[in-house]
């Protein structure tokens, strides 16, 4: 089923809360949905025969500072029917809040924790919304486009003058180790005696 066909079904049920398909001509279309109706739309997509989106294969976000929006992007797949769909939900960048899809698709759990951790989106109704990659006391959201690196955490630096210097040092050490552990070359073969002189 195409994105346009899915849109027609959603529009008949949810009206203008599901925008017309947008995106490029190569099939990477998406549907923009209202956050307030996200859970209803998700359940409809999962439970309706002919749609049966039984798997949330990815959930991520994109930061749009000039638009003051964080866009939550949801990739859905129907294993039995072999079709896919991309949904997007826009949230206010100053305080982004989106309903959690974890009650609909359990795979959304850690995806939402990652988006919370790195973009600062709060997923209401999530059973355990906390950081998943960074320490609990980390300041800021590193995947926002205006994030400024603080130079480390609790005295642990993450600044290097030139990372290639360290990579070269590691390569040189590995080569030296290979050279040390290689067996010595065999001794040269003894020279053949010269042929006897003819009388």
- Is the pLDDT score of 25 beyond 70? no
Percent of the chain topping pLDDT 70? 97
The CA dihedral of 109, 122, 90, 72, to the nearest 10 degrees, is -30
**Maximum pairwise Cα distance, the chain:** 114
Per-residue pLDDT at 124: 98
> Cα separation of 46 and 55, whole Å?
8
Sorting pLDDT into bands at 50, 70 and 90, what band is 199? low
Helix (H, G, I), strand (E, B) or coil at 140: coil
How do residues 73-131 score in pLDDT, each as one tens digit? 999 999 999 999 999 999 999 999 999 999 999 999 999 999 999 999 999 999 999 99
Average pLDDT, the chain: 92
Beta partners for residue 20, in sequence order: none
Per-residue pLDDT at 48: 97
Per-residue pLDDT at 179: 87
Say if pTM beats, i.e. exceeds, 0.75: yes
- Residue with the bigger pLDDT between 166 and 121: it is 121
Structural domain spans, the chain: 3-147
- Is it true that domain 3-147 has CATH number 3.30.460.80? yes
End-to-end C-alpha distance for the chain, whole angstroms: 98
- Beta strand residue intervals within the chain, DSSP E: 22-23, 29-32, 55-64, 69-78, 83-92, 97-99, 122-124, 152-153, 156-157
Per-residue pLDDT at 158: 76
In SS3 terms, 160-195 reads as CCCHHHHHHHHHHHHHHHHHHHCCCCCCCCCCCCCC
How do residues 38-57 score in pLDDT, each as one tens digit? 999 999 999 999 999 999 99
Nearest residue to 78 (alpha-carbon basis) of 5, 12, 129, 20: 5
């Amino acid at each position: 089923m195409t994105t346009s066909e899915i849109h027609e079904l959603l529009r008949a049920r949810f009206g203008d809360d599901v925008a017309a398909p947008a995106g490029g001509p190569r099939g990477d279309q998406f549907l923009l949905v209202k956050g307030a109706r996200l859970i209803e739309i998700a359940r409809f997509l999962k439970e309706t025969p002919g749609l049966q989106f039984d798997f949330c294969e990815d959930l991520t976000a994109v930061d749009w500072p000039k638009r003051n929006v964080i866009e939550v992007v949801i990739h859905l797949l129907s294993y039995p029917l072999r079709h896919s769909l991309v949904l997007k939900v826009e949230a206010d960048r100053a305080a982004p809040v989106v309903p959690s899809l974890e009650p609909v698709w359990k795979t959304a759990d850690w995806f939402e924790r990652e988006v919370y951790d790195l973009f600062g989106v709060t997923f209401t109704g999530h059973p355990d919304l906390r950081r998943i990659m960074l320490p609990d006391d980390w300041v800021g959201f590193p995947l926002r486009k205006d994030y400024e690196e603080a130079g480390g955490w609790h005295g642990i630096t993450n600044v290097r003058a030139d990372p290639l210097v360290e990579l070269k040092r590691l390569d040189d050490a590995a080569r030296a180790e290979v050279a040390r552990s290689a067996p010595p070359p065999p001794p040269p073969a003894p020279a053949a005696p010269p042929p006897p002189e003819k009388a």
